[in-house]
């Protein structure tokens, strides 16, 4: 028999990236007296991950809980970037409602469409929060109409389309029922949550059942699982069964039991149905596992996520500098395999499979950013490895046998005077324009373009628009493969000919050949890419040459050797620059690009052999 639990609400905060989710949560936490008076707090409290703070985006979903008028509100902050859509798809299973934040100037954006579609499919009650209403050029009425149109377009029911609206300034932590009449705090938002989000329906007398939606690791308690208790009661120390999605049963015991309160987990002895629970004590856990009373025989429906569209090859570092900079013993294939397969257990949008050898693994994800964050995370943990250039994943249409490739829906926001270069760049990438509008000196463009043609496009786009353009893409569908090849890199690589230390003398004589990625005094090895050639072909150069010593003194002997500063390359820049015959060496201290075949003579033979095969 089902009951209503009126003392609890479970909500998620969903939005397009940078529309203010995490900042609004900051205000909610502060106004519910989570912190003592005068306590110093950081901005974006829930973005605790170092990478999240550096990039200014939410990568991992976070759980917190606040209390308002004696009612507990479990809040889940979700990522806004579609590359981390797996996080969104997982956590929406735990909640009954969602706050959809929309920027009062930008309106509904591509990731707004993505997260809203997921919420509507699950039948969640959605509260629309039009945020940043104090911005210049705020389009409150237009944005509200565009949001309603989006609900209808995504197939919202009549009840879902009749959504409540709250207006807010997240940075000031104020909200109201009218855009020009905001309260002094977030009270209207809290009141709307309590009124509109349905309390959880529970079966208190049924056997306990919980679906694992998030995994965490604690240095003292080991692996922790998080999920919403669907029915029954869990108590500390009780025996449970873990049922995997394919029906395997494993017995265990709950050694630890927590609920969320403010920013911490509280140790509890008993948890009742409807609450979001963290637990530990089981030797193994996986996303979509069902934790239940031993009497339960059937698992809960597993979480389904969309398939990856991009893949890279991760492998053991094979460069001459291997083993110098990573943690001792962390560069082996065993360590790499263990780390990647552990990632799959909680990163549900990721796929890992064995590569062409025991030292290589194919890692598939939602996009370049999704894979790039994994690379950066492993690098900071102390791993040393090498990765290949990203490539798209093709599908075969079962009905026609035709090869299909992923296509992205691209949304671009750029100043009017930069729109010409964007038209040209998207045209060369087979983009089909769907929509264009101009407003307040800004051009908004919508395209469909093959994912294959967009790999490495974002850094080029930012350079072309002087860093002022906004580029967002969202998986659209699979379409027949286009025969043409994507635009190739127009410049070749400068490649070191031998191992040694780069000298200022050699660099000064070679700088007319291109742009360097290294400075004098840096160690190099044969086959290492040290710069960008001014021509389309690669060029092998000697960087270790030094000035010969003679007894002759000349007037210019003491002249300074002037070398242009090296170009600083980030991980994203390296991934964009990398050619098909190159690998990126990743260590905790360095990122080095290298040729797959280090020896120059062998590279020439390999290239000629491939050309001969193609001609025959």
366 plus 424 within the same structural domain: no
547 plus 560 within the same structural domain: yes
Residue 302 lies in a domain: no
41 plus 59 within the same structural domain: yes
CATH number at residue 336: 3.30.70.870
Decide if 329 contacts 323 (C-beta within 8 A): no
132 plus 54 within the same structural domain: yes
CATH number at residue 466: 3.30.70.240
Residue 389 lies in a domain: no
508 plus 593 within the same structural domain: yes
474 plus 497 within the same structural domain: no
- Domain termination residue (choose one: 146, 180, 201): 201
| Calpha distance 561→554 (Å, rounded) | 15
pLDDT of residue 464: 85
63 plus 176 within the same structural domain: yes
Q: From the CB of residue 497, how many other CB atoms can be counted at a distance below 10 Å? A: 17
CATH number at residue 239: 2.40.30.10
Decide if 170 contacts 132 (C-beta within 8 A): yes
462 plus 321 within the same structural domain: no
216 plus 333 within the same structural domain: no
The set of residues, in sequence order, having a beta carbon less than 8 Å from that of 350 and lying 6+ positions away, is 86, 308, 343, 344, 363, 364, 365, 370, 374
pLDDT of residue 362: 94
- Domain termination residue (choose one: 239, 257, 292): 292
| Calpha distance 353→592 (Å, rounded) | 25
pLDDT of residue 325: 86
Residue 511 lies in a domain: yes
How many structural domains are present in the chain?
A: 5
Decide if 274 contacts 210 (C-beta within 8 A): no
CATH number at residue 28: 3.40.50.300
pTM summary value: 0.74
Decide if 112 contacts 100 (C-beta within 8 A): yes
pLDDT of residue 54: 47
pLDDT of residue 110: 67
Residue 487 lies in a domain: no
Name the residue among 131, 106, 114 with its Cα closest to residue 26. 131
pLDDT of residue 418: 83
Residue 485 lies in a domain: no
413 plus 374 within the same structural domain: no
The set of residues, in sequence order, having a beta carbon less than 8 Å from that of 161 and lying 6+ positions away, is 148, 151, 152
**Angle at the Cα of 19 (from 15 to 24), degrees rounded to 5?**
90
Residue 288 lies in a domain: yes
Q: Which domain holds residue 361?
A: 310-383
pLDDT of residue 313: 93
- Domain termination residue (choose one: 423, 457, 480): 480
pLDDT of residue 433: 92
| Calpha distance 307→455 (Å, rounded) | 18
Which pair of tokens denotes residue 510? Answer: 């070679």
Q: Tell me the average confidence (pLDDT) per consecutive run of 10 residues in the chain, 616 residues long.
A: 85 74 77 50 43 44 78 79 56 86 82 78 90 87 91 88 90 89 90 92 88 79 85 90 89 88 80 89 85 89 80 92 85 90 79 89 86 88 92 87 88 85 90 86 88 84 81 84 82 90 88 89 92 89 78 51 81 86 92 91 85 74
Residue 157 lies in a domain: yes
Name the residue among 294, 293, 92 with its Cα closest to residue 209. 293
188 plus 39 within the same structural domain: yes
CATH number at residue 558: 2.40.50.250
Residue 305 lies in a domain: no
472 plus 611 within the same structural domain: no
pLDDT of residue 512: 86
pLDDT of residue 556: 52
pLDDT of residue 5: 85
pLDDT of residue 64: 81
């Amino acid at each position: 028999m089902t009951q209503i639990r009126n003392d609890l609400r479970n909500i998620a905060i969903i939005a397009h990236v940078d529309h203010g989710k995490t900042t609004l949560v900051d205000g909610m936490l502060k106004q519910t007296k989570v912190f003592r008076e005068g306590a110093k707090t950081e901005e974006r409290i829930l973005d605790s991950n170092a990478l999240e703070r550096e990039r200014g985006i939410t990568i991992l979903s976070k759980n917190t809980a606040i209390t308002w008028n004696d009612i507990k509100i479990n809040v889940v902050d979700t990522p806004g970037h579609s590359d981390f859509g797996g996080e969104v798809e997982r956590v929406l299973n735990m909640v009954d409602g969602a706050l959809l934040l929309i920027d009062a100037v930008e309106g509904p954006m591509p990731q707004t469409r993505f997260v809203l579609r997921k919420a509507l499919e699950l039948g969640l009650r959605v509260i629309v929060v039009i945020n940043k209403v104090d911005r210049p050029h705020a389009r409150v009425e237009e944005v509200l109409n565009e949001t309603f149109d989006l609900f209808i377009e995504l197939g919202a029911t009549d009840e879902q389309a009749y959504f409540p609206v709250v207006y807010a300034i997240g940075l000031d932590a104020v909200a109201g029922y009218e855009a020009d009449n905001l309260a002094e705090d977030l009270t209207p938002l809290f009141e709307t949550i309590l009124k509109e989000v349905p309390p959880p329906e529970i079966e208190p007398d049924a056997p306990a059942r919980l679906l694992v939606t998030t995994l965490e690791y604690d240095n003292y308690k080991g692996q922790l699982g998080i999920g919403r208790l669907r029915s029954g009661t869990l108590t500390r120390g009780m025996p449970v069964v873990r049922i995997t999605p394919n029906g395997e049963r494993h017995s265990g015991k709950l050694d630890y039991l927590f609920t969320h309160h403010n920013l911490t987990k509280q140790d509890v002895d008993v948890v009742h149905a409807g609450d979001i629970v963290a637990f530990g004590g089981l030797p193994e856990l996986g996303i979509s596992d069902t934790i239940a009373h031993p009497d339960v025989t059937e698992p809960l429906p597993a979480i389904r996520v969309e398939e990856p569209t991009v893949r890279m090859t991760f492998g053991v570092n094979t460069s001459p500098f291997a083993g110098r900079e990573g943690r001792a013993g962390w560069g082996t294939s065993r360590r790499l395999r263990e780390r990647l397969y552990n990632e799959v257990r909680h990163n549900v949008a990721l796929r890992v499979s064995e590569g062409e050898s025991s030292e290589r693994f194919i890692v598939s994800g939602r996009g370049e950013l999704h894979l790039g964050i994994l690379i950066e995370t492993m690098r900071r943990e102390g791993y040393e490895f090498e990765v290949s250039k990203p490539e798209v994943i093709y599908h075969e249409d079962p009905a026609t046998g035709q090869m299909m490739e992923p296509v992205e829906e691209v949304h671009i926001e750029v100043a009017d005077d930069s729109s010409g270069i964007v038209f040209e760049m998207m045209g060369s990438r087979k983009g089909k324009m769907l929509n264009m509008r101009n407003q307040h000196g800004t051009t908004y463009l919508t395209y469909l373009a093959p994912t294959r043609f967009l790999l490495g496009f974002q850094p080029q786009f930012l350079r072309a628009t002087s860093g002022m353009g906004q580029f967002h893409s969202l998986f659209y569908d699979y379409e027949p493969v286009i025969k043409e090849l994507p635009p190739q890199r127009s410049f070749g690589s400068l490649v070191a000919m031998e191992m040694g230390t780069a000298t200022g003398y050699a660099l000064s004589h070679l700088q007319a050949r291109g742009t360097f990625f290294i400075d004098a005094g840096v160690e190099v090895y044969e086959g290492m890419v040290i710069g960008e050639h001014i021509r389309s072909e690669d060029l092998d150069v000697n960087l270790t040459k030094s000035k010969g010593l003679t007894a002759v003194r000349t007037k210019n002997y003491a002249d300074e050797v002037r070398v242009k500063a090296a170009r600083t390359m980030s991980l994203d820049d390296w991934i964009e620059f990398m050619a098909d015959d190159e690998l990126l060496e990743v260590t905790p201290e360095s990122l080095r690009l290298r040729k797959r075949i280090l020896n120059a003579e062998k590279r020439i033979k390999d290239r000629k052999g491939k050309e001969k095969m193609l001609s025959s």
